[in-house]
């Protein structure tokens, strides 16, 4: 038995994925330590260590169970996720005008983070049993589209524009994998354009519209809705090539930079480590995203392939949106940087996603 276990670890365990995940998580913890001296909660980096440890155990458990067992319960997972989203609107704790969290002791649990993973499993189950492999039309997207629309609406009610946008983008990424007809892509594009005025008028909150306006005209309100993005750009630019050094981020230390633990940790890191440090972190994320595509290409079945693409798309879109908003290329929508930002729900969910990736990767040569 020890020899079999040793051979499985040597031959099947995905060490590149493990090491990339570990490096990102550890760097994020060190970066949180740098912000601790001015943070309202100075031991957040210690709490993050606990979350990473718990998430790592969860990832190992998820990876140990053959991923094909998850396919059987895909719709049950999806239903439970939506039940939690409804429950948080009724019983959840309101923080800064948003009702997104369940209070558990001194901590909060955000079900929308977990819903991203559960939706990927449900969509993978649907596509696994769909006999159609390519040439899908808009009509073929009706069922998976409705599956996605339910959590999107519930999350918008919290309100949480960033996560609802992420879920829509995850769905889009997975559906593109199914080779839509060009005419269907054009139709979806037209629908999206026509929906923009309705979204602006009826779905976006006033502060969300203000952030978009400040993004379009960043010079208009630097001291108001444009403050976050402006200070972030100043901090990143001041880091230059090699940065100011560990714990030397002046924008952070002098409290010019808000939400430095959750939405803007990359800004602090870039100011302290410079362009070269930022490039290293982005390279690790790029590797994980490309590696997930590689795992999908080697998966034994469509369920495993869609799981891999889905988890990879979560990393891709969260990194793209977070880096885009902290560099002023996208509006600020409150999307965390995976495994780098502070947050128990986000960290746990992303590590469970990594566990699923590891699961598919380890069983790529097994029947």
Chain segment 187-227, per-residue pLDDT in tens:
777 877 877 777 767 666 676 676 666 666 655 655 555 66
Residues 311 and 19 sit within 8 Å (Cβ to Cβ): no
Q: What is the mean pLDDT of residues 267-278?
A: 90
Better-predicted residue by pLDDT, 42 or 147? 147
Q: With respect to residue 237, please indicate whether it lies within any of the assigned structural domains.
A: yes
Number of separate domains in the chain: 1
When pLDDT is cut at 50, 70 and 90, the band that residue 1 belongs to is very low
Q: With respect to residue 255, please indicate whether it lies within any of the assigned structural domains.
A: yes
Among candidates 180, 191, 184, 150, which has minimal Cα distance to 168?
Answer: 150
Structure tokens at 115: 């819903």
The chain-wide mean pLDDT, for the chain, equals: 84
> Residue 9 has what pLDDT?
54
Specify the pTM.
0.90
Better-predicted residue by pLDDT, 181 or 236? 236
Better-predicted residue by pLDDT, 361 or 242? 361
Q: What is the mean pLDDT of residues 233-239?
A: 81
> Residue 344 has what pLDDT?
85
Give the separation between CA 225 and CA 274, rounded to whole angstroms.
26
When pLDDT is cut at 50, 70 and 90, the band that residue 306 belongs to is very high
Q: With respect to residue 367, please indicate whether it lies within any of the assigned structural domains.
A: no
Give the separation between CA 346 and CA 342, rounded to whole angstroms.
8
Residues 148 and 119 sit within 8 Å (Cβ to Cβ): yes
- Domain containing 243: what range? 2-362
Q: With respect to residue 275, please indicate whether it lies within any of the assigned structural domains.
A: yes
When pLDDT is cut at 50, 70 and 90, the band that residue 296 belongs to is very high
Give the separation between CA 361 and CA 302, rounded to whole angstroms.
13
Q: What is the mean pLDDT of residues 2-31?
A: 80
**pLDDT tens string 35-85:** 766 555 557 888 899 999 999 999 999 999 999 899 999 999 999 999 999
Q: With respect to residue 70, please indicate whether it lies within any of the assigned structural domains.
A: yes
Q: With respect to residue 187, please indicate whether it lies within any of the assigned structural domains.
A: yes
Structure tokens at 118: 């559960």
Better-predicted residue by pLDDT, 348 or 193? 348
Q: With respect to residue 249, please indicate whether it lies within any of the assigned structural domains.
A: yes
Q: With respect to residue 315, please indicate whether it lies within any of the assigned structural domains.
A: yes
Between 144-153, 179-188, 276-285, the lowest mean confidence (pLDDT) is in 179-188
Answer whether residue 246 shows pLDDT above 60.
yes
């Amino acid at each position: 038995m020890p020899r079999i276990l040793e051979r499985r670890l040597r031959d099947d365990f995905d060490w590149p994925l493990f090491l990339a995940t570990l490096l990102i998580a550890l760097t994020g913890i060190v970066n949180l330590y740098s912000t601790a001296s001015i943070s309202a909660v100075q031991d957040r980096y210690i709490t993050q260590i606990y979350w990473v440890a718990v998430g790592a155990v969860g990832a190992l458990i998820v990876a140990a169970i053959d991923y094909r067992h998850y396919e059987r319960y895909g719709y049950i997972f999806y239903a439970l996720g939506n039940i939690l989203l409804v429950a948080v609107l009724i019983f959840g704790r309101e923080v800064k005008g948003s009702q997104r969290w369940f209070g558990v002791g001194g901590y909060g649990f955000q079900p929308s983070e977990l819903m991203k993973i559960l939706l990927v499993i449900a969509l993978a189950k649907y596509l696994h049993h769909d006999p159609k492999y390519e040439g899908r039309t808009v009509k073929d997207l009706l069922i998976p589209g409705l599956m996605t629309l339910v959590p999107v609406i519930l999350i918008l009610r919290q309100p949480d524009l960033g996560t609802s946008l992420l879920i829509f983008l995850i769905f889009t990424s997975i559906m593109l994998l199914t080779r839509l007809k060009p005419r269907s892509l054009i139709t979806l594009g037209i629908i999206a354009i026509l929906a923009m005025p309705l979204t602006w008028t009826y779905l976006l909150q006033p502060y969300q519209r203000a952030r978009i306006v400040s993004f379009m005209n960043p010079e208009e309100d630097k001291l108001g809705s444009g403050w976050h993005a402006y200070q972030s750009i100043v901090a990143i630019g001041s880091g230059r090539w090699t940065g100011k050094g560990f714990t030397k981020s002046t924008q952070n230390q002098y409290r010019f930079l808000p939400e430095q633990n959750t939405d803007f940790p990359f800004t602090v890191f870039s100011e302290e480590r410079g362009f070269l440090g930022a490039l290293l972190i982005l390279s690790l994320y790029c590797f994980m995203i490309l590696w997930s595509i590689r795992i999908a290409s080697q998966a034994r079945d469509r369920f495993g392939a869609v799981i891999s693409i889905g988890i990879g798309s979560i990393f891709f879109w969260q990194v793209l949106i977070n880096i885009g908003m902290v560099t002023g290329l996208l509006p600020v929508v409150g999307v965390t940087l995976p495994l780098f930002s502070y947050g128990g729900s986000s960290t746990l969910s992303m590590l469970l996603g990594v566990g699923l990736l590891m699961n598919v990767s380890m069983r790529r040569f097994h029947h």
